[in-house]
Amino acid sequence: MVIQTRLTQLLNIRIPVVQGESEFENNVCVRVGLPPLASAVSNAGGLGILTALTQPSPDALREAIRETRKLTSKPFGVNITILPAITPPDYAAYARAAVEEDVRVFETAGNNPGPLIKYFKDNDCIVLHKCTTIRHAKTAVRLGADILSIDGFECAGHPGEEDIGGLVLLARAAQELNVPYIASGGFADGRGLAAALALGAAGINMGTRFMCTVEAPIHQNVKERLVSATEADTIHIFRTLHNTARVFKNKVAEEVVRLERQPGGAKFEDIRHLVAGVRGRQVYDIGDIDAGIWSAGVVIGLIKDIPTCEELLTRIERETEEIIENMSKLKAKL
């Protein structure tokens, strides 16, 4: 049995799984989308994703794309997320660098993606846009997005401000959307992929799960902490700033929440030192779980091992096929 969906057909991949990126201010979390992981996901049959803003410059992104091509001959994409920033990156330059390097699959996210989507479509690229509401999804379709990633409240990073879980959000997407969409937030195994397909999705997006693989370029301590964690080990920060983000529940995140809940609340300036990107990078570099803020979805409750990407995707493919076959047996013969 081969799982074939509109996603696998559009992207020319075998397994309808996209490597997700949990974005966060100051690039705390985007550093996972590097060539070793992106190429491993693509080689295993999914769609690997390089994160553009992990790279310090457009030229560095060019080098990362070339390095990834040395590691895989399979399709992979590039993520560009538009984040709030005092001095925003030159998004257009990153986009231009990737297109000139012949990347033809892009994942966009964040506010006002219109100019980026137009540029990519003018260059015959496939665009996958991440959304947390149906109204934003419809806007992305009008702007030209080919595929949507529907992010439920379970996801890591920014789940939006409406707190709608994936179960309802994906069913609403089936009612409202006329382009293929993938499910994001809470997916780690074949059971999740089969459920997403039943809800009308063409595949799934996995971010946190791919953090816990052999090829993920983060410290082993982080991976082992993900394995030992439960679904109760995440927390929301920036709720009072209306920029909600789901992160791993550690000492720093709990201090951010404490400051937000104090009488009068907290301004971003009051917590900037706690959420600085340099502190988050220390988590991944030296393995100090409490060094800074780092992203994780509630799916950590489902993660029990640290496989290679090949082992993980092969297992998900097998599990999904078995579940679909068993579900077909529920149909009674009259």
* 8 Å CB contact between 203 and 149: no
**Per-residue pLDDT for 29 more than 50?**
no
How would you classify the pairing of strands 76-82 and 105-110?
parallel
When pLDDT is cut at 50, 70 and 90, the band that residue 27 belongs to is very low
pLDDT at residue number 151: 95
What's the CA angle centered on 317, arms 312 and 322, to 5 degrees? Answer: 125
When pLDDT is cut at 50, 70 and 90, the band that residue 31 belongs to is low
**What residue has token string 């057909």?**
9
pLDDT at residue number 111: 85
Half-sphere exposure of 180 (CA within 13 A, CB side): 19
Q: Chain-centre distance of CA 41, in angstroms?
A: 13
Instruction: Enumerate domains of the chain plus CATH numbers.
Output: 6-217+305-328 (3.20.20.70), 221-286 (no CATH)
Using a pLDDT cut of 90, give the percent of the chain over it.
86
- Coarse DSSP helix, strand, coil percentages of the chain, rounded to the nearest 5 percent: 45, 15, 40
What's the one-letter identity of residue 193? L
- Per-residue tokens: 19: 């490597």
* 8 Å CB contact between 76 and 49: yes
**Per-residue pLDDT for 277 more than 90?**
no
Question: How confident is the model over 7-19, as pLDDT tens digits?
Answer: 999 999 999 999 9
* 8 Å CB contact between 186 and 154: yes
What value does the mean pLDDT of the chain take?
Answer: 93
Average pLDDT score over residue span 187-201: 97
Name every residue whose Cβ is closer than 8 Å to that of residue 325 and which is 6 or more positions away in sequence.
Answer: 1
pLDDT at residue number 308: 98
Average pLDDT score over residue span 147-158: 94
